[in-house]
Structure 1
Amino acid sequence: MLLPPLEGRTTQVIDVEDVAAFVVSATVTGAVNAIGDVRDLEDVLRTVRAATGHAGSVVVGTEERLVAEGVAYWAGPRSLPLWLPPDMRGFMTRSNARYRRSGGPLRPLDETVEHVVADERERGVDRERRAGLTRTEERALLDALAR
């Protein structure tokens, strides 16, 4: 499994059902960051691996090598989800304090991940996608990074 650089990287995950519940019942106005708590990206990916039962090897690519191999940040074709350029690390450190004070729910990460994994399996993990690496692209990159 190919992963982006992890050291010092964070992410914020929120379940869409939590956001929907907040929007329907919110009594506040103005800007509210409806987003999860700041978490280490490595911990989130470890949770995803556990939920999928992945026990295979993991290769963490370097920033320079991934860019040189044509891997894109964040989303779109040939991208690694949740990978941001080094100068955008602050993007995944937004405060959700107002959301939480306003009654915004945050279910446990493992519960959200379990729902996502179940949905992915139900819709077919090998289906065509508009973002990310295809299985073939990931395998080719893993081979290239091993050289």
Structure 2
Amino acid sequence: MKLLVLGGSVFLSRAVAAEAVARGHEVVAANRGRSGPVPDGVRHVVADRAEALPAALMDEAFDAVVDVSRTPSHVRRAVAALPDAHWVFVSTINVYADDSDPGGPGAGRLRDPEPDDVDAAGSPEAYGAMKVACESLVREGAATSAVVRPGLIVGPEDPSGRFAYWPARLQRVLDGARDVLAPNDPADPVSVLDVRDLAAWVVDLAERRTEGVFDAVGPVTPIGALLAAVARGVGAEPRWVWAASDRLEAADVRPWSGERSLPLWLPRPEYDGLPAHDAGPAIAAGLSPRPFEDTARDTLAWLRETPGAVVTGLTAAEEADILAGLRADADRAGADAGV
């Protein structure tokens, strides 16, 4: 198979290019060359998606194209230039209009499409709406296509630093910081998918010319079970300190990701749908998620090997301060109860 990856130098698209070339495919990665090198064995063509694809690509015939763009004009030009290839378009579950309802392909209501290029910084609505438009461009313009809608993608080389917080934090348990702040309730659902598993499946979809729309998510798992698996992958035995959402909010702990956040925590019920999408159809179509322990172990190894790798979330000092506040609250409650 001759595969064109529009991207190929960062996280998922890089993992797709690496997986495809490891299987013996001829792989071309087209990008501006500003985000790092493409994997060994992948041919790099310099291309700026704000312009027409370079003539060097137009003279070639590709069996499949993988695109991760969020920008409608980029997708519009590329599909028009390469309509005969099988397209695998990586979208997002942010295309769904209701974060409290998991919906799913053919069931969940989508956001109104945004056909124009909009700055999506800080606007999940614009991001999801542009992805809706991109999906339509691919499905209507390509000869055949598959659309995959990932949720939270995790693992080595993740530039967001969300999942990486947990292996990094649990490594500190080995240094003596055994009390670990955990979000809300261990029964709360969460869903994550290792980038390498998603990349392998994307290549499968390209090889098989699979058609359809899929929620590309991992199995729904209680967050307590996920964090316990991360601890096993790291080799740590933490003492979990579960704090209710209202207590976290009172301590100015932020959800999901970023500074002063407790990653993977999502307030309920307004975000009940985000971690609850059905992985069954994607798994039936060949997606094969690995154990969380493996993802945690490999993410920690990557962190150790990569100075400057991004880890977002509470600092050690911020977590220690919140834990001290929780202990003080518990002591006061015990004193009030005469314990």
2:275 corresponds to 1:92: yes
How many Å apart are 1:7 and its aligned residue?
A: 4.2
2:288 corresponds to 1:105: yes
**Any gaps of 5 or more consecutive residues in structure 2?**
1-179, 329-339
Partner AA of 1:77 in structure 2: E
Map of 2:132 onto structure 1: none
1:1-147 pair list within 5 angstroms: 1-26=180-205, 27-87=209-269, 88-123=271-306, 129=310, 131-147=312-328
How many Å apart are 1:130 and its aligned residue?
A: 6.4
Is the Cα contact below 8 Å between 1:13 and 1:37 reproduced in 2? yes
Tell me which of the two structures has the higher relative contact order, counting C-alpha pairs closer than 8 angstroms and 6 or more residues apart.
Answer: 1
How many Å apart are 1:45 and its aligned residue?
A: 0.4
Decide whether aligned partners of structure 1 residues 110 and 55 sit closer, same or farther in structure 2, where only a CA change above 3 A counts. Answer: closer
Partner AA of 2:291 in structure 1: P
The share of aligned pairs that are identical, in percent, is 32
Is the Cα contact below 8 Å between 1:78 and 1:134 reproduced in 2? yes
How many Å apart are 1:146 and its aligned residue?
A: 1.1
Once the two structures are superposed, what CA deviation does each residue of 1:34-68 show, in whole Å capped at 9, x if it has no partner?
Answer: 11111111011011122223324321111111101
Larger radius of gyration: 2
TM-score (ref. length: structure 1):
0.87
**Any gaps of 5 or more consecutive residues in structure 1?**
none
Select the structure that is richer in strand: 2
How large is the RMSD of aligned CA atoms in angstroms?
A: 1.9
How many Å apart are 1:91 and its aligned residue?
A: 1.7
Runs of 4+ in structure 1 off by over 4 angstroms are: 127-130
Count matched residues.
Answer: 145
Select the structure that is richer in helix: 1
TM-score (ref. length: structure 2):
0.40
Decide whether aligned partners of structure 1 residues 129 and 69 sit closer, same or farther in structure 2, where only a CA change above 3 A counts. Answer: farther
Is the Cα contact below 8 Å between 1:10 and 1:40 reproduced in 2? yes
Is the Cα contact below 8 Å between 1:9 and 1:89 reproduced in 2? no
